[in-house]
Structure 1
């Protein structure tokens, strides 16, 4: 199961040019299907083939997933989509045109930590039905695919791709243009200043602390009164007295979509309560939508639920929701679309606790048909982060080995390339250098992190300005117990002042209790920059591994940028 950490949504728009004319009279009547691969995970044997290709090894056996049903139109065979692809929707049909811009748009959730992909299949409509069961009755015009990271990094968040038909590489099928827009309403934030007037605090003497204000609403699709309410906001502390019968609550600020689903007509319950032993007892309430609240000039008459909280029957207490305003939050996606570059630094553990690399079952054992845990971890995270790097340069280090020619002292930081420059040019290059290094060094120890973190800090120590935004991520893959804990903590503290995050993947089944220490949120540092994940908990679900490892990166990047007063830049136009 994937972790839902979505903070942004994208609207997808589709258009096509130079489509093939499949009609004898007039022109084609195009429509399109949009599909989403939510994880970007290749079937296992295809992933192995990609890994083998990088080392010139023979490819593994064909993909064991059975091919989908073949559906044939006059322009070629439409193979359908295998179960990885989720259908997002279908556009309308535009009649008699080879150049179309469909009005139908689609919304998808954007996840930084997933290798999401989009696919577009285009058809010439020949029958009334556009159902999946009848798709073979239409002429197939071609397909195109694009990764979501590549789309949001493209100028103008626009990609124009050639439509292709499998088995017909030379067939000219036209082009499809895919445009992504960051959904603005998911970034909107609503603000209020809540207060009470003509409200008695005498009830609280025997009944608990308060008053508190809680706002609830019905779940989506159930705007009628229901006991199944969703709590969307509660004042973090009791209201403070502002007069004999008046109280001021904390400022209310909340994501607009989560507050009312971006619908000003959704009924909201405003509940005044007192806390006794952790249980909130509601004493008065009012119900109104944001539209009704605006019509009442931000004043709501409270209905008494518990006796004693109204000063007198002649004076009805009022809840005031003043100073309503809307703002927009900056999101991680805004920084990415604005050109913020993500850099990856890789560090690999070559200590002797990994076992003899020549022995099957040890952590560094190389098998062309079965990547080891180091390779799987680097591939899972590296492929995601590489999509956000503009230069595709990845410094790669090792630590904990004795180096040639004398193999005398263990080295706690060395370049995997064998030269002073540790730069690799692709993730495949990182993996190749890792495999080559295994044959050139002797595994040793102990496990030291301090020098590796210091090296990553040097890469990250560039001037980040409003016009030149960048952020670095250090990926450490390790099997062992840290031997230089105090030095490591000192380097983490220094690194927390830089545009840098550290993600650590623990392979094998060693004692990783030290990692819990450096991943703690209560360390004395500028900000929390470390995330640790045990590989074996998610070995069979790489999409969850990536989500767990990378889920804190967007928040850490935004925290750094906000501390420096750096806003997202407008999207580049070229």
Structure 2
């Protein structure tokens, strides 16, 4: 049996477990062989037919099916696909099937692919009809003289699979963009100039490939501000084309970045909201807790939106709803973190507008109380309301 495991640079991944069994009795061994998979995102759709296959059944014709094997680095073969059985025919047309190129040949276009043809029997003693060997490169030539055996390739279609949550689908927003747009479009109305600094974390930057955890999405470290949320989205899309996503994943630099601004404006004239969109991996938990405890005494709140299928235990801990967050024995002065997993808000009918509205509603629900708790504990009163704006040369009109 084959298991595909994602390798994470920043995590320890224990694969060993003791075998349980009968106490005092040796229960055998399991031999594990591992092979590094090539970073290949392609999948291929193939369809085959048979031509005048051998008749194996005493009554009726054969019930043929195909078994595909990929060759391993040590010369052995591993089953990677079985077709369905086509009953009672010597000229079967099997259904088209889709398989990742990694599973078929580990991204090595010249690696041997072996195909065996069997006649299905109810008792499992399937009769061997024949076999042939090919490769991805040969198959990719499509219908040609190279791909005619007793089994013939009918079609071969390559598709590139999105393997990243950042994948840019031309037809809809990815989860990062949806979360950003959902929260941003509401909160931007509380910002007077609509200019937002946008930072990325966990990537190698051009030209020298240094890893950064607080880089300007627009590529301008001296002025990371983007015009409105649409400007932030544009900067995000552009940065995906220029940076290389890379671990570890540190949260504390961006929290400290915003905290430096918040620390310089304590008179109540400004309040800062940091939106972090993450897949849940965090490499600097202790430092992040320290940063949040420090930030809790500043005029700022932190919204964390988790995207993707991961467990978000660390983010729930940072939220502090159950247990107030602490660092080195010091508790946060107030709760400033709100975490939600985006998957909880995805509309079952596929209505992304509804998903985004639900997300924004829950994410922003705690901000007013967090804002007021900061102002009240410091005795900051609202400034007098400015007089209503009257365009020059127009008399004041009152609408009843």
TM-score, structure 1 as length reference: 0.36
Paired residue secondary structure (1:446): coil
The 8 Å contact of residues 165 and 176 in structure 2, kept in 1 or not, is answered as: yes
1:536 is matched with 343
Q: Does 1:494 align with 2:294?
A: yes
Deviation of the 1:555 alpha carbon: 0.2
Mapped to 2, the partners of 1:488 and 1:526 lie a distance apart of 15
Deviation of the 1:359 alpha carbon: 4.2
2:215 is matched with 414
Mapped to 1, the partners of 2:205 and 2:310 lie a distance apart of 25
Q: After superposition, give the CA deviation of every residue in 1:433-459 in whole Å (9 maximum; x if it has no partner).
A: 000000001111111100010011122
- Over aligned residues, Cα RMSD in angstroms? 1.4
Mapped to 2, the partners of 1:402 and 1:482 lie a distance apart of 17
The 8 Å contact of residues 266 and 298 in structure 2, kept in 1 or not, is answered as: no
Q: Does 1:428 align with 2:230?
A: yes
How many residues in Structure 1 have an aligned counterpart in Structure 2? 214
The 8 Å contact of residues 481 and 511 in structure 1, kept in 2 or not, is answered as: no
Q: Report 1:147-186 matches (<5 A).
A: none
Q: Does 1:516 align with 2:316?
A: yes
Q: Does 1:549 align with 2:363?
A: yes
481 and 361 in structure 1: CA distance in 2 versus 1, 3 angstrom threshold? closer
Paired residue secondary structure (1:526): coil
4+ aligned runs moved over 6 Å, structure 1: none
Mapped to 1, the partners of 2:165 and 2:189 lie a distance apart of 27
2:71 is matched with none
Mapped to 1, the partners of 2:379 and 2:320 lie a distance apart of 26
Q: Report 1:137-536 matches (<5 A).
A: 359-360=161-162, 362-407=164-209, 409-420=210-221, 421-465=223-267, 469-521=269-321, 522-523=324-325, 524-536=331-343
414-423 vs 495-504, which moves further: 414-423
Mapped to 2, the partners of 1:549 and 1:504 lie a distance apart of 8
496-505 vs 535-544, which moves further: 535-544
Mapped to 1, the partners of 2:177 and 2:238 lie a distance apart of 13
The 8 Å contact of residues 205 and 211 in structure 2, kept in 1 or not, is answered as: yes
Paired residue secondary structure (2:303): strand
Paired residue secondary structure (2:316): helix
The 8 Å contact of residues 448 and 482 in structure 1, kept in 2 or not, is answered as: yes
Q: After superposition, give the CA deviation of every residue in 1:496-545 in whole Å (9 maximum; x if it has no partner).
A: 11100000000001121001111114221111100000001102222221
Mapped to 2, the partners of 1:369 and 1:511 lie a distance apart of 28
Mapped to 1, the partners of 2:346 and 2:234 lie a distance apart of 22
Mapped to 2, the partners of 1:539 and 1:406 lie a distance apart of 39
Q: Report 1:82-101 matches (<5 A).
A: none
Q: After superposition, give the CA deviation of every residue in 1:101-147 in whole Å (9 maximum; x if it has no partner).
A: xxxxxxxxxxxxxxxxxxxxxxxxxxxxxxxxxxxxxxxxxxxxxxx
The 8 Å contact of residues 394 and 426 in structure 1, kept in 2 or not, is answered as: yes
Mapped to 2, the partners of 1:469 and 1:442 lie a distance apart of 38
Name stretches of at least 5 consecutive residues in structure 2 with no aligned partner: 1-159, 326-330, 348-354, 390-400
1:98 is matched with none
The 8 Å contact of residues 280 and 315 in structure 2, kept in 1 or not, is answered as: no
The 8 Å contact of residues 366 and 372 in structure 1, kept in 2 or not, is answered as: yes
Paired residue secondary structure (2:200): strand
Mapped to 2, the partners of 1:569 and 1:411 lie a distance apart of 40
Deviation of the 1:361 alpha carbon: 5.5
Mapped to 1, the partners of 2:265 and 2:229 lie a distance apart of 26
Deviation of the 1:482 alpha carbon: 1.2
The 8 Å contact of residues 447 and 480 in structure 1, kept in 2 or not, is answered as: no
Deviation of the 1:360 alpha carbon: 2.6
